[in-house]
Amino acid sequence: MVASVRSLSSRWLALTFAAAYLVVSAIVGVALLTMPNANTVQPPTIPPSYLSDDSVGGGSPTAETSRVAPTGFQFVSGPENVETVIPLGWPTVIAGGPGAMRATDPSDAGRVVGYGGARAKSTDLVQTRVADETSLSERTVGYERIDLTRASYGGHMAVEWEFTYDDGRGIQHVRALYWLVNEVEYFIFAAGAEPVWDTRMKPIYDAMVAHSRP
């Protein structure tokens, strides 16, 4: 999880759903987003290259300077002055983790997004996520890391975490971004069924990444 400006281009180290956020906790209404693999997975020693200039290297969303929500989305704010966008009509509730909020698709309870902010337990976002991952892998069935990467988000230290797990109804896919600003850890995440992740949830996550603050 490390990228730049609001730009993430490249692979990451791998998150939210809310502890420290663990948005993971917020993540599906359960604290799911806090965990690196139980089988001793070490974070990469060389972080991927992230670009702040959208014209160099493509593919990653970049935050816009204008505060106009994309079509089908609305701005929301939360703990520690976090701001992001979520789909229109998705009701927001306080989640289980510190400073965590969650919003669910009223027509499909399996589609969930989360966001929030709280005082960081540690400035080492990677090790925090790794500890979260270990905990999560012990509490869930079929946990599997897709990515856990260092990044720079808006010029701030960040980490991105992506994983899947089986919630009893099928494989769920979660992707989260954590970033640190003035000792406050912020996060956003999106979760949904694996079969529809690319078409129904990834676009939502990308919009959140492109329009979140601080």
Give how far Cα 49 sits from Cα of 2, 11, 201, Å.
9, 8, 25
> How far apart, in whole angstroms, are the C-alpha atoms of residue 214 and residue 63?
11
Domains parsed from the chain with CATH numbers = 17-210 (3.40.1000.10)
Q: Where are the alpha helices (DSSP H) in 55-201?
A: 125-139
Q: Which of 208, 25, 44, 183 is nearest to 126 (CA)?
A: 44
pLDDT tens by residue, 11-47: 333 333 433 343 343 333 333 333 333 232 333 333 3
Q: Is 198 in a helix, a strand, or coil?
A: helix
Q: Supply the pTM of this predicted model.
A: 0.73
pLDDT tens by residue, 149-204: 999 999 999 999 999 999 999 999 999 999 999 999 999 999 999 999 999 999 99
